Amino acid sequence: MAPFLSGGGYSSEGWSYILALHGHRKMQSLRLAIEHHGDLESLEFWQGLPLDMKNLALELYQTRCRMNETIVICHSEPGAWFPPMFETNPCPPSLYHHFKSVIGRTMFETDRVNDEHVERCNTMDYVWVPTEFHMSTFVQSGVDPSKVVKIVQPVDVKFFDPVRYKPLDLASRAKLVLGSCVRKSFVFLSIFKWEYRKGWDVLLKAYLKEFSKDDGVSLYLLTNAYHTDNNFRKKILDFVKNSGMVEPVSGWAPVYVIDTHIALSDLPRVYSAADAFVLPSRGEGWGRPLVEAMSMALPVIATNWSGPTEYLTYDNSYPLPVDRMSEVTEGPFKGHLWAEPSEDKLKVLMRQVMSNLPEATAIGRKAREDMIRWFSPEIVADIVADHIQNILGQ
């Protein structure tokens, strides 16, 4: 049970597990079923799914399982678990003891788990988390260590394969919000929902301070509103005006925004149109766009803290150092800590990626190799299937 139809992070992660497990040799004796749970459904997301995924969704949604023989995996944030704290299909769909086993699969972007969620985790038979970072933070927060299991996140390296795609014409889908058009440029890409945690402020400051129009670079932001309006042009222009930054003599390096829906089937073409991917986030549960970009052999600059530490290395990426930890000041995780990525180091790394293409290309190639070796669907399906078989054996 996961938000299969929402299009958000938990949605794509739920899909990656399903696509890995369906038809896997160790799952042949088991029946696999899915149900939507958690975030709201998005018709746009459903319409943009490849036909084979739509057909699989319909097949698995119609599959039925007997409760006492079923392992239920609740793939969502713990507030959605039974009894849910907001309106959604409860997971599990009935009392916990009605099922063979109930597993919560979740993660957090801060340095801890709040008390309410710890309690919900301890109700589960197991809690699957994707990284060593989460193993540590969940146990330190009070989750029973015997319940916490690391199950890494798969990425579909066959779907996200650079040799399969022609680049999407980003300029035709984007709005120029700052600077003027550069005919041929080095393209930095960032994909995120518009929230403070994603570090868009750090990215804009580093990019606009380091580059000018003369550098022949462009920054494309593929984003969507998150508890805010979608007037991203105004948000960016207001931010620049209030930041005290001085426009270079030759003019600002251009910043573009793509705020229209990109179908999943077109997403690899977006990555293919970029020269580098950058996300100076303050905290990530996993970092889905990062592993997708790495699978597409892009050089990636990302904050070296939280979930991405599971796969970022100095051989396969450009890990961005953290200046300090800061306190979350609003929202449900107020009082937690997360990272403040270094703006100065980000400027250095973005310049380094642009200036040393042979190095960046080699790092991107190593990134794809590592994604195939450690996080391909076949590898992760083996890990998941083994854990499921262990539960059944008990």
In whole angstroms, what is the distance from residue 302 CA to residue 319 CA? 5
The CATH code that applies to domain 9-154+376-393 is 3.40.50
In whole angstroms, what is the distance from residue 298 CA to residue 316 CA? 10
Q: Which residue, 373, 339, 349, is CA-closest to 300?
A: 349
Mean pLDDT of all residues in 213-241? 93
Mean pLDDT of all residues in 51-73? 95
In whole angstroms, what is the distance from residue 81 CA to residue 233 CA? 37
Q: Which residue, 186, 344, 355, 342, is CA-closest to 254?
A: 186
- Give the model's confidence band at 91: pLDDT under 50 very low, under 70 low, under 90 confident, else very high: very high
**What is the percent of the chain with per-residue pLDDT over 90, rounded to a whole number?**
93
Residue 119 neighbours by CB under 8 Å, 6+ apart: none
- Give the model's confidence band at 184: pLDDT under 50 very low, under 70 low, under 90 confident, else very high: confident
Mean pLDDT of all residues in 73-86? 95
In eight-state DSSP terms, residue 307 is G
pLDDT at residue 394 in the model: 79
Mean pLDDT of all residues in 350-362? 98
Q: How confident is the model over 125-154, as pLDDT tens digits?
A: 999 999 999 999 999 999 999 999 999 999
What's the first-to-final CA gap in the chain, in angstroms? Answer: 23
Contact (Cβ atoms closer than 8 angstroms) between residue 94 and residue 118:
no
CATH topology of domain 162-374: Rossmann fold (3.40.50)
pLDDT at residue 228 in the model: 78
- Take residue 34 and report the two structure tokens written for it: 């899915």
Using only C-alpha atoms, the chain has a radius of gyration, in whole angstroms, of 21
pTM over 0.85: yes
Mean pLDDT of all residues in 89-100? 92
pLDDT at residue 299 in the model: 98
- Give the model's confidence band at 362: pLDDT under 50 very low, under 70 low, under 90 confident, else very high: very high
Coil vs helix vs strand at 129? strand
- Give the model's confidence band at 230: pLDDT under 50 very low, under 70 low, under 90 confident, else very high: confident
Tell me how crowded residue 98 is: count the other CB atoms within 10 A of its CB.
13
Whether the per-residue pLDDT at 227 is higher than 80: the answer is no
More confident residue, 182 or 249: 249
Per the listing, tokens 């293409």 go with: 357
Q: Hey, do 9-154+376-393 and 162-374 end up sharing a CATH topology, with the first three levels equal?
A: yes
Q: Give whole-number Cα distances, 29 to 94, 133, 196, in Å.
A: 25, 33, 45
Q: Are strands 175-178 and 255-258 parallel, antiparallel or unpaired?
A: antiparallel
Q: Which residue, 336, 346, 86, 97, is CA-closest to 211?
A: 346
pLDDT at residue 161 in the model: 98
Mean pLDDT of all residues in 80-101? 93
Whether the per-residue pLDDT at 95 is higher than 90: the answer is no
Extents of the domains making up the chain: 9-154+376-393, 162-374
pLDDT at residue 331 in the model: 85
pLDDT at residue 332 in the model: 84
Q: How confident is the model over 236-276, as pLDDT tens digits?
A: 999 999 999 999 999 999 999 999 999 999 999 999 999 99
Q: Which stretches does DSSP call E strand in 164-208?
A: 175-178, 186-194
pLDDT at residue 281 in the model: 98
Q: Which residues pair with 318 in a beta bridge?
A: 301
Tell whether omega for the bond before 319 is within 30 degrees of 0, i.e. cis.
Answer: no
Contact (Cβ atoms closer than 8 angstroms) between residue 94 and residue 312:
no
Whether the per-residue pLDDT at 278 is higher than 80: the answer is yes
pLDDT at residue 183 in the model: 83
